[in-house]
Amino acid sequence: MRKLFDETSIKGMLLNNRLVRSATWEGMCAPDGRPTQKLAAYYGTLARGGVGLIISGYAYVRPDGKQLPGQLGVHDDAFAEELAALAGAVHRESGRICLQLVHAGGQTMAKVAGRQPVAPSAVAVDQYPEMPAELSTDDIAALVTCFADGARRAKGAGCDAVQLHAAHGYLINQFLSPLTNRREDAYGGSIENRCRFLMQVYRAIRCVVGKDFPVLVKLNGSDNLPGGLDLDDALVAARLLDEEGVDAIEVTGGTPASGNQTPVRQGIDKREQEAYNLPLAYRMKNAVSCPIMVVGGLRSFEVAEGIIRREEADYVSFARPFIREPHLALRWREGNEVHARCISCNGCFKPGLKEGGIYCVVDKIERESRGVSL
């Protein structure tokens, strides 16, 4: 019987358990995207806490793909030493790190990107802060190269894997979605055409990193948005990736415009509210042969272990619970299977904007009330 703390491997990347720290923005990098010692220490703490795989915060592959202050960048060879420090901090604690690659596309603003945002089509939709410019075919080709260069830098820095962010309304997802992709050329129309950019990026990365280096993809099972990517089309994308040899797919859902079905939902305080993307992940697992990770609202050991035991997914991913409890995996492994302390308030992101790094504000308040320093 499969269990949460099984040792596994993904294309030779040995993992101590089936727990994954899913990517989240940390807000701990320099203005130009250069990683800091603060971020390296943060990843070291996560690795020491026993999580099987750490997926980094989303790292932009070109400056105009940046979305938030303090966001990680992987667009410059000059960051090699600092990127290596991130990997080293994780490896010293016997952990594994996967660098996530992203371009925000239309989901950023000119004041952050340094230019008018770019997207598959120049359309006004709720998830875009302002009107983007439509990408030319030449710029699409240039972006493919930028993703490949980011993967090259990640591998060269000693990271154990890379993950393409093809979800949550960012650029690759914008190509997949008929709501944001209104193109009439080879990149628009049918789902196969809308997958073209994703597949070109994947193939370019595979050419750079080789067949033995793990390449993962984070994919929306649904945009949870009228007119957006739906499950049937997402399954087509998953099968295309599987046929090309992708090493794992992390299944998620939603965009910032998805109402109460966004990627980061609040108020998860009942078990029936947990694992809200599991129906999408289970459908995808039955459609592909590669390992499936599921993220979204997981909070309790029993739910996570049940998913693994019933083979509904191969790995379970968390983000916010590890912000409050970086040693959650170790706690569960040692037999303390109490529900994660995260209350899904999303307050952890505010310090990233105002104080140069995310942390659990509820935990800080509780500690200060007891006279305990962070």
Residue 276 lies in a domain: yes
Residue 3 within any structural domain of the chain: no
Residue 374 lies inside a defined structural domain of this protein: no
Residue 271: per-residue pLDDT: 87
Q: Band the pLDDT of 120: cuts 50, 70, 90.
A: very high
CB 236, CB 220: distance < 8 Å: no
Residue 122, CA distances (Å) to 105, 157, 200, 353 in order: 11, 36, 22, 29
CA-based nearest residue to 129, from 105, 103, 155:
105
Task: Say if 93 falls within a structural domain.
Answer: yes
For residue range 234-243, list pLDDT tens digits in order. Answer: 999 999 999 9
CATH code, domain carrying 24: 3.20.20.70
170 an active-site residue? Answer: yes
* Least confident among 90-104, 170-184, 260-274: 260-274
β-bridge pairing 53-55 and 19-21: parallel
pLDDT in tens, 303-324: 999 999 999 999 999 999 999 9
Q: What is the largest CA-CA distance in the chain?
A: 62
pLDDT digits (tens, 9 = 90+) for 179-229: 999 999 999 999 999 999 999 999 999 999 999 999 999 999 999 999 999
pLDDT at 363 (0 to 100): 87
* Alpha-carbon gap, residue 368 to 221, rounded angstroms: 41
As a whole number of angstroms, the distance between CA 244 and CA 206 comes to 10
* HSE toward the beta carbon, residue 59, CA cutoff 13 A: 30
Contact 194, 228 (CB under 8 A): no
| Catalytic one of 42, 43, 128, 170 | 170
CA separation for the pair 66, 274 (Å, rounded):
30
Instruction: Determine contact, residues 46/322, Cβ cutoff 8 Å.
Output: yes
Within a domain: residue 100?
A: yes
Q: Does any domain span residue 1?
A: no
| Distance of alpha carbon 43 from alpha carbon 92, whole angstroms | 11
**What is the number of domains present in the chain?**
1
Tell the residue number behind the tokens 């250069």, with chain if given: 34
Distance CA 156, CA 154 (A): 5
**pTM greater than 0.95 (yes/no):** yes
Q: At what angle do helices 196-209 and 137-156 cross, to 10 degrees?
A: 40
Strand ranges (E), 92-146: 97-102, 118-119, 133-134
* Domain coverage including residue 52: 8-369
Average pLDDT over all residues of the chain: 96
Q: What's the chain's Rg over C-alpha atoms? A: 19
Q: What pLDDT score was predicted for residue 66?
A: 98
**Residue 1 — very low, low, confident or very high, per pLDDT cuts 50/70/90?**
confident
DSSP label of 89: H
